[in-house]
Copies of this chain bind each other. A is one copy, B any other.
């Protein structure tokens, strides 16, 4: 789910209207004004779990405020292009956006940490870091420079490694491989000799079909099946080591956030937390069926080889060192995340992973 371009439109609607309406008691008028916000998403309606998370968030806020605080959700391209969500929020074109922060990696690679980085945290660790490991605060210090306030408001879970026309058995097989992948992951791939390509979501299928590219990564079984990659690339690799988690952000204009009554801030915060677990729960519930159907249809599942995983890990660390030498923001957040990761992985090795691996073993033995 790296940088992708959805349908672009040039028309950007007028700024949304926020009106406090005639409420009888002044104290209430102050604490529960009638607000009408617009939230633009990076995702098309067809991605019903990613885009659905924005709709769910808006629904929670509307119901929790008895329809006093209404957020109208727009799909990618309806009023703002899918990859310009942060710009539109920053400029005040819309009050709010739903996007993956790593799409804005080009502005500053520090944006990547709000979604994920290669060999970063898993989903539970990401939530813990954001909330209790200083992640959310550090990121909001950084977002402040863009006049944004951000909160996690969804997650896909660990993603797949994508679709390959040929088997990739060794690190050498990556050399010259044209793969649709972006951001930091693209840099790691390039370091390993692959040729990363930036291709819009809707253009991947024909590129892969014609052989313009050899491989493409997207999200996971449920979303990938919709795009039909299985029809033209038989090999489906895992894991997406560049997306051990992939958090979705709700971004709010910083001045809009600060002007909200405390009650509305709390409702938005709780709605984001609810959307966060809603989205990953929906993915977790939908992916197994899609995966079964893909495999039944002939898709061949492969893990990346240990040598490829190790080489990618090493390459990623070299890239981090390079960026840190030049970018103090990146360094600060990287050090927080990796220090937290060190502790988390150590602890997860004990109870969580051992439990998961035992259950995986029962599954492999057909005992579940």
Whether the Cβ atoms of A349 and B355 lie closer than 8 Å is: no
Given contacts A131-B281, A363-B342, contact A158 B352 (CB under 8 A): yes
**Interface-side segment among A102-110, A166-174, A266-274, A324-332:** A266-274
Q: Are A351 and B159 in contact, CB atoms less than 8 angstroms apart?
A: yes
Contact of A28 among B24, B60, B340, B347 (CB under 8 A): B24
The residue that A128 contacts in the complex, of B276, B281, B349, with Cβ under 8 A, is B281
Q: CA–CA, A63 to B262, complex, Å?
A: 7
A132 close to B347 (CB less than 8 A)? no
- Shortest A79–chain B CB gap in Å is 27
Q: Does B309 contact A358, Cβ atoms closer than 8 Å?
A: yes
Q: Are B64 and A64 in contact (CB under 8 A)?
A: yes
Q: How far is the CB of A239 from chain B (nearest CB, A)?
A: 4
A277 within 8 A of B: yes
The reply to whether the CB of A157 lies closer than 8 angstroms to some CB of chain B is yes
Question: A201 an interface residue at 8 Å Cβ cutoff?
Answer: no
Residue A359 interfacial (CB < 8 Å): yes
Question: Does B281 lie within 8 Å of A122, measured CB to CB?
Answer: no
Q: Is the CB of B351 within 8 A of A363?
A: no
Say whether B291 contacts A350, CB under 8 Å: yes
Question: Counting CB contacts under 8 A, is A140 at the interface?
Answer: no
Report the Cα distance A343→B342, complex, angstroms. 30
Known contacts A132-B281, A239-B351, A277-B131: does B343 contact A359 (CB below 8 Å)?
A: no
The contact of A284 among B28, B63, B280, B344, by CB within 8 Å, is: B344
From B60, B244, B351, give the contact of A359 (CB < 8 A): B244
A351 with B263: CB separation less than 8 A: no
Asked if A261 is an interface residue, CB under 8 A from chain B, the answer is yes
- What's the nearest-Cβ distance from chain B to residue A118, in Å? 11
Chain B residue contacts of A276, Cβ below 8 A: 277
A291 to chain B: which residues have CB within 8 Å? 346-347, 350
Nearest residue in B to A266 (C-beta to C-beta)? B63
A345 contacts B357, C-beta separation under 8 Å: no
Contact with B along A295-307 (1 / 0, CB 8 A): 0000001010000
A211 part of interface (Cβ distance < 8 Å): no
With a cutoff of 8 Å between Cβ atoms, the chain B residues found around residue A23 in the complex are 25, 28
* Contact, CB under 8 Å: A278 / B131: yes
Contact A288 B124 (CB under 8 A): no
Are the C-beta atoms of B338 and A368 separated by less than 8 Å?
yes
- Cβ-based interface call for A356 (8 A): yes
**8 A-B pairs with least C-beta separation:** A24-B25, A132-B285, A288-B343, A128-B284, A63-B266, A273-B274, A270-B270, A239-B355
